[in-house]
A and B are shown apart, each in its own frame.
Chain A
Amino acid sequence: MLAEYAPLLAWLVLVMAFVGGLLALTAWIGRARPAPGKAETYECGMQPMGDARGRFSVHYYLVAVLFILFDVEALFLVLWALRARELGMSGLIEVGLFLAVLAVGWLHIWRRGGLEWDR
C-alpha cells in the first residue's frame, strides 16, 4: 500500500530539483543590470499610483466562502459514490436528502444575490 508512495516521493524530489535547478541556473548565469526604471511597478507607463495592498471588493471573498461550502460537500459525495452500488436505495435516499439541503442553500444564495456580479 504505502510502498506506492515511494516512487511518488522520488518523483516529487525530481520535479522540485528540476524547478529549483532552473531557477538557480538562471540566477547564476542570467545577467543582471539593475536600473531604477526596471525596478518600478508597471502601470502602463505612468508613475504608479498607490499600491496593490488595499482592501478589495468583497465579491472575491464571497466566492471563496461559497467554494469551501460546496467543495466539502463534494468530498462527502465521493465517499458515497465509491459505494453507490452497494448502498443502493437507502444510500440514495440519504445522499438525496444531503443534496436537497445543499440545493436549498444554493437557491438561497442565488435569491440573496450572492451570485450577482453586477448590481
Chain B
Amino acid sequence: MARHAIKMPDVGEGVVEAEIVAWHVKVGDTIEEDDDLCDVMTDKATVEIPAPVSGVIAALNGAEGDTIPVGTEIVIIETDAAVEVDVAAGDSGASPGPAEDGKPASPGKDPEPAPHKSPTPAPAPIAQTQRSGKTLASPAVRARALELDIDLAAVPGTGPAGRVLREDLDDFAAAGGRLISKAGESGGANRTPKAGVTEEKVIGLRRKIAQNMEAAWTVPMITYVEEIDVTEVEALRKSLNGDRAEGQPKLTMLPFLATALIKALAGVPQANAHYDAEAGTLTKFEGVHLGVATATDKGLMVPVLRHAEAMDVWQMAGELARLSKAAREGSAKREELSGSSITITSLGAIGGITTTPILNTPETAIIGVNKMVERPVFDGAGRVVPRLFMNLSSSFDHRIVDGYECAVLIQKVRTLMESPARLFM
C-alpha cells in the first residue's frame, strides 16, 4: 500500500492559504482517479481538487471552513501501488484560477499571511458516517425520543461516532426541539411553538462577505437618494429590444444606467477610485470597471464589467449576461470577480424605495438601484399624467467624496437618463 499525500494547491500567485469549502469524500471512501475530493476557495474563486490517483481515503486534514496554508497535506490516499508519492493537487490537473490578484489598488502588496492554524487531523467525518439509516443511540435514549416525539435523526449526537447521548436529547428538547410530530398523532393543526435553534458555521463565501462588510463599516459613508424619471429611457429600451437582432441579448436598464454613470463620472473622478487610507493614497481610474452585485445561491458575488467605458449598451448587455451566469454557476474566474472601480447594486426587481448600500471597499462609490414604479405626476400644465420612476440610492466614501460632489454626480446621471438621447452623444 502506498500513500499519496495531496497538498493544498497553490491556486494563485501570492495566495498563501485557501479555505476548504466542501469535502466530497470522507475517510474510508474508495475513490477513482479524477473524482472530486474537495472544493477550496481563495478570495471568491472556488477550485475543485480532483484525485490524482485511485485508492481509499486514509485521512482528511481540516474541516469545512478551515483556512489551510498552501502546501499543507490535506488528503492522504492509500493506493495499491508500491511507491509513495507526494502530490501537490495543483500538479495533477486541478485548474486553479488565474494567478493575478486583480486588485489594482494594492499593487505589489503581499497579502498578509494569516496566522497559520495547523490543520486538525481529520476528526470531523466520523459523525457523518452513519450509513445504516438508523440513528446511533442507546435503547433508553431511543425510547425517550419516542416519548418526546423527537426524531433522533435530527438530534446532533456528541458521542463516539456521532451517537446521540441522553444529554444531547435533553439539550435538544430543552431548546424546544419538538420538531417532528408524526402525522396522524397530532391531527391537522400543528401549531406547537418552535423554539428550536440551529447553529451553523459561517464559512466560505458568507464569511468572505461578512469580512468585507465589516471592513466597509469602518468607512464614514454618505447615502444620497434621488428619483429619476425613466419613462423615456424605458421606452427607448423597449423599442431597442423590439428590433434587436437574432442572438442579441435582451437589454435591461443596467447598460443605460452604466452609460449615464460613465459619462457622469468624468466630472467626479474621485467616485471612480480606490482609497487606501493606510497608505494615504487615492487611485483614480481612467477606465470604468463596473462591479455588478449579483445574488447567487451561495451569496452575493460581484462580477466585473472591465472597461465598460469602451462598450456600447449591447456589448455591456452581452458581457453582463455572460458574467452573471458564470457567477451563478460558480464558474467565474478570479479576475472576473475582483478589481472593480465602482459598483452598481440592484434590488430593483424585489422592491423597496430606498436602500443604504455598503461600499465595496476600497471603492469610494456604490450606486443602488431601486424598483421602477409608475406614479401620477403633474405635467407642468396642471394635468396628472402617469410617469415611470426609479430611485437611485447611492453611497460614497465621505472622506473622499463630499456631499456636493455626490449630488453633482447623481444629478448628472439623472439628467442623462431623463433625456436618453444625450446618453449617446
Q: Do A and B come from one complex?
A: no
